[in-house]
Amino acid sequence: MSSIDLLLHLDHLDLAVAAPRAAMALAHRLGARLDALYVADLPAAAFSLPEAVPVQLEETQRRVAEAQAYEPIWRQTLASHSLNGMWRVTQGDTVQTVSQATSGYDFLIMERSQQRSDAPVGFGSVSRCVFACGRPVLVVPDVAPVASVGANVLVAWNGSRESALALAAALPVLQKADEIRVLDGSEMNAELLPVLPPPGLADWLQRHGIRARIDIFNTGPSHAAGAALLEAAHNQGADLIVMGAWSRSRLAQMVLGGTTRHLFMHGDVPMLVAH
């Protein structure tokens, strides 16, 4: 049996879109268990007008019942991919509920809409779950083609704590990848204390059985790194980007720009991120 457990968060019941397809692809590649969690969101703002509470609760209960009836379809979908897993339904605040549920899993998988993207980026439900859940998150843009996930991987390394967490979390994926390219941008962050022990990145990868091509990544101004990273992923044909998320504060990235912010806004490649 697999020792890797994946949790797919759903805020809709369409399994044909990018995030469920990415979850199935990753679970199949890793031989992992895949559970789905549907959350009928009930934000605190729903209780701001007392007269609206009964209507909000009735609508939430309707969504819960509809989602619970969807379990056979989920099980059929898993079976068609030779996968095992559960269908879970609950209600509550999305970020709090998902973050609590994820504590028992190795990876969280979430969809990020490019049509209704967070404004400002970094304060929406996906970004907040990256901060709150304490687990690596596979962020799947809803425009991602998702032919595969984890076969051709681009790793963005900058020497930060966040990039080290992402790299370590990605080990099960990297060990099964067909092609891995690491873009080493640590020289752009020379003021950061190197996280990996000596003699450094190449040795760490080798000791963990990872064969990767390592290229120096220097885009000049840090705000240009996101666009350059996405271009590199496209040129490589990468189906997954592994990177640390929000190594600068969300406010700094909102004001000054940053790699995470750019990829969350413009990316069309699934990203395995950690914070």
- How does strand 271-274 pair with strand 179-184? unpaired
pTM: 0.89
CA angle 178, 180, 186 (to 5 degrees): 170
| pLDDT band for position 248 (cuts 50, 70, 90) | low
| pLDDT band for position 41 (cuts 50, 70, 90) | confident
Separation of alpha carbons 179 and 171, rounded Å? 14
| pLDDT band for position 133 (cuts 50, 70, 90) | very high
pLDDT averaged over the chain? 87
* Of 4-18, 108-122, 258-272, the least confident: 108-122
Ordered by where they begin, the domains of the chain are 5-141 (3.40.50.12370), 152-274 (3.40.50.620)
| pLDDT band for position 252 (cuts 50, 70, 90) | very low
Q: Is the pLDDT of residue 87 over 90?
A: yes
Q: What is the pLDDT of residue 79?
A: 97
What are 60-83's pLDDT values in tens digits? 899 999 999 999 999 999 999 999
Separation of alpha carbons 241 and 150, rounded Å? 9
